[in-house]
Amino acid sequence: MVDNKHMNEPTETTNVSDTSVRDVFTKAANLRRASVRELHSETVTMEQSAGQSITATDLTARQTAVLQATATDLDATASALGYVQTTDLVMNAGSHSVVVVAAGEATLDQSGVQVLVAQEVKEVKSSALGVVVTNSMAVRDSPVGILIAKNVEGNVSPQLDTRGAIIAGAIAGAILSVVAVAMRLLTLRRRR
């Protein structure tokens, strides 16, 4: 059910439940067991819903899947997120994201992010992180694959820290250079 006939015209509040809609432009949107292709709104609340592209000032996602989200404040619980661009992020209770870029603070509790780039990772508890690039990070009981940070608070043992990342990058660059030269030599020999 959708209570807004003209989805391309901004309205005060749009409620969408148990259906799929294409494009929604509104001041506030509440989705429950619904899917939306594109949604632009100041405030978005999604419960057991899915969205392809969400742009909002405040986005709250509960048991929701979002492919791409741009929000000033994003709060996700038990949700799956693709690419997220936000100022402040809170993820908890089993939320997962592929890539998060946070200009402000990020807080994670029992969540996972493959790539996290944030000004400050305020708190990470019982979460799993692949690659983290940040100025400062507070972490507890959370594995981190690659960590590049100025300040780290808490006990963390990354697979690759800042120094290790520089060394790995230099080694990878050297190997790629050797492969490129070898390929060039093979190409020259075949032309003769």
pLDDT tens for 22-50 read 999 999 999 999 999 999 999 999 999 99
- Which range is least confidently modeled, 48-57, 90-99, 113-122, 148-157? 148-157
Q: Residue 120 contacts by C-beta under 8 Å, 6 or more apart in sequence?
A: 104, 105, 106, 134, 135, 136, 137
Model pLDDT for residues 151-178, shown as the tens digit of each residue = 999 988 777 777 777 888 899 889 989 8
Domain that holds residue 173: 162-192
Beta carbons within 10 angstroms of residue 10's beta carbon: 14
Q: What pLDDT was estimated at residue 5?
A: 43
Number of domains in the chain: 3
pTM for this entry: 0.77
pLDDT band at 108 (very low <50, low <70, confident <90, very high): very high
Q: Mark whether 55 and 3 lie in a shared domain.
A: yes
How high does pLDDT run on average in the chain? 89
Q: Mark whether 113 and 182 lie in a shared domain.
A: no
Strand 112-125 versus strand 144-153 pairing type = unpaired
Dist. CA 68–CA 91, nearest whole Å: 15
Q: Mark whether 153 and 92 lie in a shared domain.
A: yes
Beta carbons within 10 angstroms of residue 147's beta carbon: 24
Q: Mark whether 52 and 101 lie in a shared domain.
A: no
32 contacts 51 by C-beta, under 8 angstroms: no
Q: What pLDDT was estimated at residue 6?
A: 42
136 or 162, higher pLDDT: 136
Q: Mark whether 62 and 121 lie in a shared domain.
A: no
